[in-house]
Chain A
Amino acid sequence: MSTTQTVQDTSAAPAAPVAPPNGDVLPGGTTITDAPPKSVKMKGVDVNVFYGDKQALFDINLDVGERQVTSLIGPSGCGKSTFLRCLNRMNDTIDIARMDGTITIGDQDIYDPSIDVVELRARVGMVFQKPNPFPKSIFENVAYGPRIHGLADNKNDLEEIVVTSLQKAGLFEEVKDRLEAPGTGLSGGQQQRLCIARAIATSPEVLLMDEPCSALDPIATAKVEELIDELRENYTIVIVTHSMQQAARVSQRTAFFHLGVLVEVGATDQIFTNPRDSRTRDYITGRFG
């Protein structure tokens, strides 16, 4: 959904970057509100993405800090989901999508021909906007990833991985008696936590979340947010969200996208209390978007 909107919205020419009142400005016109994270897990350099003839992202330079939550905010169609999907090459599945620039994980360029996309996606897991458990049992949902990557040597190992993943996703207590029940029979919030369990079952280094709570009610959202906060200890998390409160609650760093341009990036409290770019300020104060 968000990608198609991206296409439409970016057909308009990007707004000329407004010179920020102070702070550093990167080549793409991005305002850096604070120093980059101490330890960088993933790094995007001059990322441009095109859908056919339309450019969806313009010279994005963004560092993703290790073991912290980076949230991407911005109005619909601003390119935040597109950027997220570049991080595990999910955009490869779209025929007309084309990307240039470099994205690295550790020191490796993820778009390097020597990188196997299957391996990459095992390292960079993803949780989607709409809970999408496989129409299989809860156990199978979680076991699928480890199984295809050959992470478990035997059945016991596999069971352990499944149980651990479900525990980490905070779902185990709720479903321990019905691991063979279909995953699609769970409630929306449970399904989304099942998807998170599924994503962390392959022990990824980075976890991408594309508006994970937009289809959930407030209680389920609270649980998922709590979970994200716990997962931060072990995983690098990038989350796209429409809810600025959510970004403020769960993330340590926030990046604001607008019309395909990364407008401002910085520590979350900094961005929300003292944005330097006028567009960021307008957005977080609800003047547009």
Chain B
Amino acid sequence: MTDIASASSGGSADPDLHTSDAARRRLKARYASEFRFKMYGIAAVLTAGFFLVLLLSTIVGQALPAFVSHQVTIPVDLSQETLDPDNQGESVLRRANYDAVVRDGIRSLYPFAESRDDRRTVSGLISSGSAVRVRDAVLADPNGTIGQTSFTVPLDDTADLYFKDQVSDERRVVPTGTATPTGTQGTIQVLSTANDFRGLLADVKDFLAQDAEGVERELAGKERSLERAILDLASYQTRLPDVAESRRNFFEDQINILERGIVSLNRDIENLTAELADLQARSQTAGAEEALSTALPSVLVEINGGVVKASRISATGIEGEVIIPLQSTAAAVGEAWSIREIVLPERNRKLDDRSIVYLDLLAEQDRVERTFNTVFFTSGASREAELAGIWGAVVGSFFTMIVTLSLAFPLGVAAAIYLEEFAPKNRFTQIIEVNINNLAAVPSIVFGLLGLAVFLNVFGMPRSAPIVGGMVLALMTLPTIIIASRAALRAVPPSIREGALGVGASKLQTVLHHVLPLAMPGILTGTIIGMAQALGETAPLLMIGMVAFIVDVPSTPLDPSTVMPVQIFMWADFPEVLFRQKTSAAILVLLAFLITMNALAVILRKRFERRW
């Protein structure tokens, strides 16, 4: 240090100062640290990129199935006689029994489904909104629709999922033997000459073994609880004689509870032990006949044009109930029959075996078609997953954004211009400035509370309406726009202001003719960032009732509606798989809007920058 100082002050620099080994080491260390810094940066970027890709691929993967849907064409009786025998026009058409039309239509495809349960299963295959669809079509175009003999309706959401292969894994066994059914209806047996069911039986036994393990774990848990209860009981009982009079009651209650608990635990243990023994016995006796239940994989046998659902299975045959009647009791060879295993137990899925068989029949008849899911993009909310769409929320968001933009942009820019160009710099304006900055950090739900208290309760504005949502979001966006606009105005070089003032422009002319146009790209960027923030905002809108379930697509900003993020929030709550997929799809739609807005911002900025 002193050397350097003296060398430099003395004027005669040490010639080795920058070439010595020490200097080289310093240089090397410097490069090394620069390299490390660069690597940290690259690592950070890669990590962020990885998570982004992960997020997007998850969402896209979830969302893709929601963009297609399955529809079924059913025969319908839309004759003039059924709907409007006296030709009275719309009033009668409106009240016609379309439920019956649709129900009869789908049932006509399953003449063998005679029992109440079976018929209910059949009606459940198509969406419950089908009748409304038919009615709307008839009312929209009576001449074109009346007399039609077939109509395409959406499938129920679980049926839709089945055609997207999202209900259960399936396995097909190609049989080698010759099978003989003992009947065509009711409970029959199908016996094969070969051990065609052995594999399935083994699967079932594996399943039982797994169940047995589960039961064993449960049993162990119960036994531990029992031990603990017995210890507790003993401790209470030993302390009971010494305990003070005032606490005696409590102790006696505890002892009672524990005694009752021990009794019930013992009963559970007994049951579980028996179940475990049963399961173990069944799983270990390989090859023995096994009864199937809804807790086990399903086995379906397709034979002679019919389908049998197995209730008992052995290595060589099954006993079961006919779901679709067989055409004959003739022996079936080779490809004339097949065995199908639906791996997920019936009780663990939404779609029972009967529905699956019925749906397969529809597919065999070429009645099912896979189409782009226009419903998702054109309809409003619905309780039925297959009928739910994002359009209502999109329109609601659009109205909300229009209101927000038309309030926040002029107010925000005007406020920014006043504060930046005209306001005197005194304590009062300083307080305003600080508060605007603070406002930007206020949790958005607080703005929702404000909207609820002021706009709804004091001004009595309509609940759930985009106009109120837009006003609340405008309050939330204002500080963002003001801050961005002020920064943009401040960034305009003072020489421009001086130039304008120098030729005698007034202050307002200077701002409007010269400063504002130059600041516009920055202001627009800030505004679009604020709008994007508002577009994705959920919490404040919950407070003013935009979380309501609204089926109709709003036609004005005064109609009740919801917005995209709130719709996503609501759908995410539903248990149905299709709703989960639609949640992801809606997120994609929202992202698409955000990306479009940002692209718009970039384009606008480019335009402005080129012009100046």
Is chain B found bound to chain A in the same assembly? yes
User: CB within 8 Å of B: which residues of A?
Assistant: 88, 90, 93, 95, 118-122, 125-128, 130, 132-136, 144-145, 148-149, 182, 195, 198-199, 201-202
A133 CB to closest chain B CB (Å) equals 7
Query: Which A residues are CB-close (under 8 A) to B425?
Result: 95
A-B contact pairs, 19 of them (CB 8 A): A90-B498, A93-B498, A93-B501, A118-B504, A121-B503, A125-B502, A127-B502, A128-B495, A128-B502, A132-B493, A132-B498, A134-B499, A144-B500, A144-B503, A148-B506, A148-B509, A198-B499, A199-B503, A202-B504
A188 CB to closest chain B CB (Å) equals 13
B286 CB to closest chain A CB (Å) equals 88
With an 8 A cutoff between CB atoms, is B231 at the interface?
no
Query: Which A residues are CB-close (under 8 A) to B497?
Result: 93
Q: Are A202 and B499 within 8 A (Cβ)? A: no
Whether A90 contacts B501 in the complex (CB less than 8 A), given A95-B425, A135-B518, A135-B612, comes out as: yes
Q: Are A199 and B502 within 8 A (Cβ)? A: yes
Q: Residue on B with the closest CB to A144?
A: B503
CA distance A17 to B555 in the complex (A): 81
Which residue of A88, A95, A119, A132 contacts B499 across the interface (Cβ within 8 Å)? A132
Query: Which A residues are CB-close (under 8 A) to B495?
Result: 128, 130, 132
CA distance A128 to B518 in the complex (A): 20
Whether A128 contacts B504 in the complex (CB less than 8 A), given A135-B612, A144-B513, A148-B509, comes out as: no
Query: Which B residues are CB-close (under 8 A) to A136?
Result: 612
A166 CB to closest chain B CB (Å) equals 15
Count residues of chain B with CB under 8 A from any CB of chain A. Answer: 20
With an 8 A cutoff between CB atoms, is B505 at the interface?
yes
Query: Which A residues are CB-close (under 8 A) to B513?
Result: 144, 148
B227 CB to closest chain A CB (Å) equals 83
Query: Which A residues are CB-close (under 8 A) to B509?
Result: 148
CA distance A148 to B497 in the complex (A): 15
Which residue of B493, B503, B518 contacts A198 across the interface (Cβ within 8 Å)? B503
Q: Are A195 and B499 within 8 A (Cβ)? A: yes
With an 8 A cutoff between CB atoms, is B496 at the interface?
yes
Q: Residue on B with the closest CB to A140?
A: B513
With an 8 A cutoff between CB atoms, is B424 at the interface?
yes
Q: Are A126 and B505 within 8 A (Cβ)? A: no
With an 8 A cutoff between CB atoms, is B312 at the interface?
no
B14 CB to closest chain A CB (Å) equals 37
A128 CB to closest chain B CB (Å) equals 6
Sample of 19 more A-B contacts, CB < 8 Å, known A121-B502, A132-B493, A145-B503: A88-B502, A95-B424, A121-B501, A121-B503, A126-B498, A127-B502, A128-B495, A128-B498, A128-B502, A132-B495, A132-B498, A134-B499, A135-B496, A148-B509, A149-B504, A182-B612, A198-B503, A199-B502, A202-B503
Per DSSP, are chain B's interface residues mostly helix, strand or loop, or mixed? Answer: helix
B256 CB to closest chain A CB (Å) equals 83
Q: Are B424 and A134 within 8 A (Cβ)? A: no
CA distance A135 to B497 in the complex (A): 12
Query: Which A residues are CB-close (under 8 A) to B503?
Result: 121-122, 125, 144-145, 148, 198-199, 201-202
B491 CB to closest chain A CB (Å) equals 13
Which residue among A120, A130, A132 has the maximum number of chain B CB atoms within 10 Å of its CB? A132
B266-292 contacts to A, CB under 8 A, are none
Which residue of A95, A148, A201 contacts B505 across the interface (Cβ within 8 Å)? A148
A49 CB to closest chain B CB (Å) equals 17
B418 CB to closest chain A CB (Å) equals 15
CA distance A120 to B505 in the complex (A): 11
With an 8 A cutoff between CB atoms, is B119 at the interface?
no
CA distance A88 to B505 in the complex (A): 13
CA distance A128 to B500 in the complex (A): 11
Which residue of B496, B506, B518 contacts A118 across the interface (Cβ within 8 Å)? B506
CA distance A201 to B505 in the complex (A): 13
CA distance A132 to B504 in the complex (A): 15
Q: Are B499 and A133 within 8 A (Cβ)? A: yes
Q: Residue on B with the closest CB to A131?
A: B495
B486-524 contacts to A, CB under 8 A, are 493, 495-506, 509, 513-514, 518
A272 CB to closest chain B CB (Å) equals 30
Q: Are B500 and A134 within 8 A (Cβ)? A: yes
Whether A122 contacts B504 in the complex (CB less than 8 A), given A95-B424, A135-B518, A135-B612, comes out as: yes
Q: Residue on B with the closest CB to A146?
A: B503
Whether A145 contacts B504 in the complex (CB less than 8 A), given A95-B424, A134-B514, comes out as: yes
A4 CB to closest chain B CB (Å) equals 12
Q: Residue on A with the closest CB to B503?
A: A145
CA distance A126 to B499 in the complex (A): 8
Query: Which B residues are CB-close (under 8 A) to A198?
Result: 499, 503
Which residue among A119, A127, A130, A144 has the maximum number of chain B CB atoms within 10 Å of its CB? A144
Query: Which B residues are CB-close (under 8 A) to A128?
Result: 495, 498-499, 502
Query: Which B residues are CB-close (under 8 A) to A118?
Result: 504-506
CA distance A118 to B507 in the complex (A): 9
Q: Residue on A with the closest CB to B517?
A: A135
CA distance A182 to B609 in the complex (A): 12
CA distance A116 to B290 in the complex (A): 105
A65 CB to closest chain B CB (Å) equals 22
Query: Which B residues are CB-close (under 8 A) to A134?
Result: 496, 499-500, 514
Query: Which B residues are CB-close (under 8 A) to A122?
Result: 503-504
B358-410 contacts to A, CB under 8 A, are none
Query: Which B residues are CB-close (under 8 A) to A202?
Result: 503-504
B422-441 contacts to A, CB under 8 A, are 424-425
Query: Which B residues are CB-close (under 8 A) to A127?
Result: 502
CA distance A122 to B501 in the complex (A): 9
CA distance A157 to B500 in the complex (A): 21
CA distance A136 to B500 in the complex (A): 12
Query: Which A residues are CB-close (under 8 A) to B500?
Result: 134, 144
Q: Residue on A with the closest CB to B493?
A: A132
CA distance A255 to B451 in the complex (A): 65
A113 CB to closest chain B CB (Å) equals 16
CA distance A17 to B493 in the complex (A): 39
B516-568 contacts to A, CB under 8 A, are 518
Query: Which B residues are CB-close (under 8 A) to A88?
Result: 502
Q: Which 4 A-B pairs have the closest CB atoms?
A: A132-B495, A145-B503, A122-B504, A126-B502
Which residue among B498, B499, B503 has the maximum number of chain A CB atoms within 10 Å of its CB? B503
Q: Are B514 and A121 within 8 A (Cβ)? A: no
A253 CB to closest chain B CB (Å) equals 23
CA distance A112 to B499 in the complex (A): 24
Q: Residue on B with the closest CB to A120?
A: B504
A275 CB to closest chain B CB (Å) equals 32
Q: Residue on A with the closest CB to B495?
A: A132
Q: Residue on A with the closest CB to B514?
A: A134
Q: Mark B568-612, 1 if CB is under 8 A from A, else 0.
A: 000000000000000000000000000000000000000000001
